Amino acid sequence: MDEQEILRIRARSNHALATRDLPALSRCWAPNYTVVTSTNANGFGRADSVDRLTSAYRDKPDLLYVRDPLTVQVFEAWGMAAEHGTWRSTWGEPPGTVTMGGTYFAKWQKYRDAGWLIQAELFVPAYCNGGASCVRELPVAAPEQQVE
């Protein structure tokens, strides 16, 4: 039952992405929703992620995102679930259409009053074809981390 509910919410989130209904999409997210995008951009909270998507839709008017779940594993005792699947995006960019996609992971949390909400998502690219956006250089060095 919980797995089916999560899949229904994922379908609603895909519909919201396709129709650019960001208020509906943000209702699928926990208030402290966290995302790491395919380009390593980080988003914290609903408002930050809505702002990021608003900019992306403005910059790429034909942008389309789709998430296709492969597995959902529910840990009922703690009201948490893991979702794993594939994602893809397309948009127009000289010289043609860019297609990009890969694997995603989502952590879900069940709330007493709100039901299942996406707590966090991580998008890992596996391919990118068709445009300048696909060309990226490796970082020069990893950020320094302090050990205390």
CATH of the domain at 43: 3.10.450.50
Contact 71, 100 (CB under 8 A): no
| pLDDT exceeds 60 at position 146 | no
Residues spanned by the domain of 68: 2-128
Tens digit of pLDDT for each residue in 53-62? 999 999 999 9
Q: Please compute Rg for the chain using Cα positions.
A: 16
Core vs surface per residue 13-32: b (16+ CB within 10 A) or e = bbebbeeeebeebbebbbee
- Average pLDDT over the chain reads 92
H/E stretch holding 122 reads strand 115-131
Domain assignment of residue 65, yes or no: yes
Question: Per the structure, how many domains does the chain have?
Answer: 1
Tens digit of pLDDT for each residue in 6-39? 999 999 999 999 999 999 999 999 999 999 999 8
